């Protein structure tokens, strides 16, 4: 008999994603943990949400987790199959009509206190032209961060949470209050939270700076600060309870049975 009372950090992160998706919300996802979390939300937490992907597939409810945004498993149970350009117009149209029904998931290699994300390059001892590491870049994330409220996915490590990122690929709150407007970006859009394997960070409404909102049963405010490369307010932190066994069963047996994105240690099966 499988034991679903124990869960991994990644499963907790996927559960945290699902808990922060609202009823009737349109959810832009890619692959990996955001897709696991969105699938969990669609099946268990808030069935009225509508996952969409940048390949143009709308209101997706895959039987099993797809491996890419063009995977046929996305197409089997989606409402509409649009071309990619329609997806881009759709997210911009939501902003033009001042609609507040969309949330989008993005990730990256570095993040700063204001939610600016770098997924382009790590300078190291070099610069943009000759960096130590070059990544694949924005994809659709820059446009998403411009026109949509976002939830940022990161692994919580000091080398990723930096006072200043090497390069801003996806805009957050820039340098604080009014920063987006000064950069010519919509001021009524921006990062809402950062979901990591140690907790959930949100952004102060006045300063726009990141603070710890929730930590997990296996983490602590002290652990979050220790793994953050800048001072982060932990005074507002609350404990987020872990998922119940049925949630873990759904993730392992229905959403990702092949462990494409969440590996289950043998001792927790």
Catalytic residue positions, numbered:
54
Instruction: Assess contact for 49 and 22: CB atoms under 8 A.
Output: yes
Rounded CA-CA distance 8/160 in Å is 21
Instruction: Assess contact for 221 and 215: CB atoms under 8 A.
Output: yes
Segments in 83-134 forming alpha helices (H): 84-96
Q: Which pairs count as long-range contacts for 82-88, CB under 8 Å and 24+ apart, including other chains? A: 82/56, 82/57, 82/58, 83/56, 84/54, 84/55, 84/56, 85/56, 86/56, 87/52, 87/53, 87/54, 87/55, 87/56, 87/58, 88/54, 88/140, 88/143
């Amino acid at each position: 008999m499988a034991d679903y009372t124990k869960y991994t950090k990644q499963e907790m992160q996927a559960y945290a994603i699902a808990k922060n998706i609202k009823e009737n919300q349109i959810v832009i996802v890619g692959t990996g943990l955001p897709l696991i979390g969105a699938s969990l939300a669609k099946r268990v937490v808030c069935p009225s949400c509508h996952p969409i992907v940048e390949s143009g597939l709308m209101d997706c409810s895959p039987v099993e987790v797809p491996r890419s945004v063009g995977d046929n498993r996305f197409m089997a149970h989606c409402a509409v199959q649009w071309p990619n350009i329609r997806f881009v117009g759709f997210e911009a149209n939501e902003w033009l009509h001042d609609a507040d029904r969309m949330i989008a998931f993005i990730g990256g290699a570095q993040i700063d206190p204001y939610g600016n994300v770098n997924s382009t390059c790590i300078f190291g001892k070099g610069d943009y032209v000759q960096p130590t590491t070059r990544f694949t870049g924005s994809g659709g994330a820059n446009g998403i961060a411009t026109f949509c409220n976002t939830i940022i996915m990161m692994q919580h490590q000091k080398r990723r949470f930096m006072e200043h990122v090497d390069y801003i690929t996806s805009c957050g709150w820039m340098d604080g209050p009014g920063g987006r407007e000064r950069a010519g970006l919509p001021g009524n859009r921006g990062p809402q939270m950062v979901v990591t394997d140690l907790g959930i960070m949100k952004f102060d409404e006045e300063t726009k700076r990141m603070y710890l909102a929730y930590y997990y049963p296996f983490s602590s405010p002290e652990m979050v600060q220790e793994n953050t490369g800048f001072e982060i307010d932990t005074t507002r932190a609350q404990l987020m309870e872990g998922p119940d066994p049925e949630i873990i069963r759904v993730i392992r047996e229905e959403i990702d049975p092949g462990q494409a994105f969440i590996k289950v240690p043998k001792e927790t099966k």
